[in-house]
Amino acid sequence: MPHKGRLSVEEKIKAVESYQSGEMGKAAIVSRYGIGLTTLRDWLRLYEARGAQGLMPANKWRKYTPELKRQAVNEYLSGSLSQADICLKYDISQRSMLRVWIKLYNSHGDFKQPNSGGAIYMAKGRDTTLEERVDIVSWCIANNKDYGKTIEQYGVSYQQIYAWVRKYEKDGPEGLIDRRGNRKDETSMNEVERLQAQLKLKEAENYRLQMENDLLKKLEALERGCD
């Protein structure tokens, strides 16, 4: 049965080592632990680069020098390595961060600007309506919880998005209600609002699952061809 809930560091390590030892294939691990294929690939890359330490929660975002950013982008644009390979070579924690550097480079931005490239995760929070939060969480889920892309798309902070997704997963659409202070307009959802939110979020989940299922089918076909 697929694992439900957030995985511990020990479970992540077990998943990675099961693949490395040949005990389980990627498709089986994705199904067993209820994770996305992209997530597993990131775990494998982080484990290869840093060992078990790479799978532990980061206490703070790593700082990258302008020279490293420029070198990583140039090497990727030369076509010699994939984004995943670049992240592995330069120990870049998020592929979305590399994509931000590439976008900055292509728009003739300056890597010497404070926090350039990593700034996407330092974006400030902003006030949002309940409808906006439903849209943001739906978009994030549909895009395989790519927080970097969601930040770019909606201009909210990483902390906000992460908290909203967790609250939705725990309490459903009601978890997205802001109950701070005297926000009387958000003390509850009427039945129509609740059904609309549930439908939008369920459509996002179904879309993500369909994308993952399509990838799994392709992966299983490749693994059968290697037997």
The structure tokens 């992209």 sit at: 38
> Which residue would you say has higher pLDDT here, 51 or 212?
51
Comparing CA positions, the residue from 101, 110, 94, 95 lying closest to residue 74 is: 101
The mean of the pLDDT values for the chain is: 75
| 176 neighbors 134 (Cβ within 8 angstroms) | yes
Q: What is the pLDDT of residues 103-118, one digit of tens each?
A: 777 665 556 544 444 5
Mean pLDDT of 138-145: 83
> Which residue would you say has higher pLDDT here, 174 or 209?
174
Which residue type does 224 have? R
DSSP assignment of 14-64 equals HHHHHHHTTSS-HHHHHHHHT--HHHHHHHHHHHHHHGGGGGSPPSSPPP-
Mean pLDDT of 188-197: 72
Burial of residue 71, with CB atoms counted within 10 A of its CB: 0-12 exposed, 13-18 middle, 19 or more buried: middle
Does residue 190 register a pLDDT over 50? yes
> Which residue would you say has higher pLDDT here, 60 or 111?
111
pLDDT at site 59: 44
Q: CA-to-CA distance for 74 and 70, rounded, in angstroms?
A: 6
Q: What angle do CA 212, 216, 221 make, to 5 degrees?
A: 155
Q: CA-to-CA distance for 34 and 36, rounded, in angstroms?
A: 7
Q: What is the pLDDT of residues 167-180, one digit of tens each?
A: 888 888 888 887 66
The first and second tokens of residue 38, run together, are 């992209």
Comparing CA positions, the residue from 147, 135, 142, 164 lying closest to residue 211 is: 142
